[in-house]
Amino acid sequence: MDGPTYAVRLRDLEQRIDELKEQIRRSHTRLSLLSDTILSGGGAGSHANIKFKNELSSAFRVTRVLVVLDGAVQYNKTDQSGTLAEQAEIPIINGSVPPGDHTVQVLVNLQGNGYGVFSYLRGYHFELRSSHSFTAVEGKTINLDGIVFEKGGVTTPLDQRPAIRYVEKVSSGIADASGAPAPAVAAPGGAVAPAAPPP
């Protein structure tokens, strides 16, 4: 290889090295900004406030509630004593979630609750499964209530009454009720896991 050719190739190599250094510098800057944003709970991200509500009559008693967000169990409680059934509202999640699409899945076990001539209701057992997809918006809070209720009326057969509905509302800001940044809600391993049906 003669001198001029060597010089041209050397300059080309030096130019490519400089371009790679600039790419690395830009990547490092982006990572630093992302890290600062996440650690400070700043502008990036969105907030989810998810609750379970019980609007059933005394004809039904809740014996289990399981709530899964994006494949990660957020709440799972079984109770035969009646304590769970007495809770009209159960906070499930109040924390930051990645912006984008999410799926919440709810499983509720119920037992009929009756006395006297209606004591036969105690033999009724129900399992409700439901899922709801929602979109978390950057810089906003998604308020989502999963409500177990009785559909129909007095003529509706007992086994067809229990159902789950969802009420969704989006509000500005990503702080919780206290005004402080909320804790992150993460799937096992610190990542959002794929949705999976409740067990």
Contact 76, 87 (CB under 8 A): no
pLDDT for 122 equals 65
Contact 77, 95 (CB under 8 A): no
Q: Provide the 10 A C-beta neighbour count for residue 106.
A: 23
Asked whether the predicted pLDDT for residue 106 surpasses 90, the reply is: yes
Quote the pTM value.
0.63
Tokens (6 digits) for 118: 């209606």
Q: Provide the pLDDT confidence category of residue 160 given band limits of 50, 70 and 90.
A: confident
Q: Which residues contact 136 (CB under 8 A, 6 or more apart)?
A: 46, 47, 48, 97, 98, 99, 100, 101, 102, 142
pLDDT for 34 equals 64
Mind listing the pLDDT tens digit for each residue in 52-104? 999 998 888 899 999 999 999 999 999 988 888 899 999 999 988 888 899 99
pLDDT for 191 equals 36
Q: Provide the 10 A C-beta neighbour count for residue 93.
A: 21
- Residue located via tokens 């406030």: 49
pLDDT for 164 equals 95
